[in-house]
Structure 1
């Protein structure tokens, strides 16, 4: 498993090029070999750590793991406008991440507008919003 130790060492040193090269050579999305699939998830995480958003964006066109990693990373980097754009383009995961972000930062009106604009019939988006509504118990 020499490659694995080399990849971990490169990751710890933040030598993203080396780590990505080592891991991606042994990665396969939805492989029947669980190690190959785990390496694929690791590869996506390494791309995010390296802030290789253009690569993740390209992969996200066909790879759900890349899409989720990209959206999570955009949120972590405070790139709300990019999430908004992805949601507008039809990325449902981006919509969910955006709505959570807006609700968690007490911008429920903006979250509501995003749901109305990009997924008015999306039940899950509405469920996310509902989790952040204060309970109405009839008392003030």
Structure 2
């Protein structure tokens, strides 16, 4: 199933749950609403809730599976003109660096600790930016 199919199913289920709630609110007196629900109504409410939860879980499972398949994405040597996405790894000055978030072009590994994390230090010393405000 696609995300669109999941959304359509969720929309249908939500509409059905709203119909049930509207029916409960408008078709019964206050005294009737204080009585216990019929077994059939309870089953319908449980089924609607279970179906909605199943749709959400299926969509989340697909997202988790896609994330787990991604693994580490090694992009070779750092390129000044390239922008990097969170999780991309590059080699720079003999060390391996991981992007912690989206990194704009020109932000070299080691220059901004909010963007890059040193994964493995190589033979050459890495230049590190000072931590804290630089005024």
- Choose between structure 1 and 2: higher strand proportion: 2
TM-score, length basis structure 2: 0.28
Q: Which has the higher contact order (CA 8 A, sep 6+)?
A: 2
Which one has a bigger Cα radius of gyration?
2
Q: Tell me which protein shows more helix as a share of its residues.
A: 1
TM-score normalised by the chain length of structure 1:
0.27
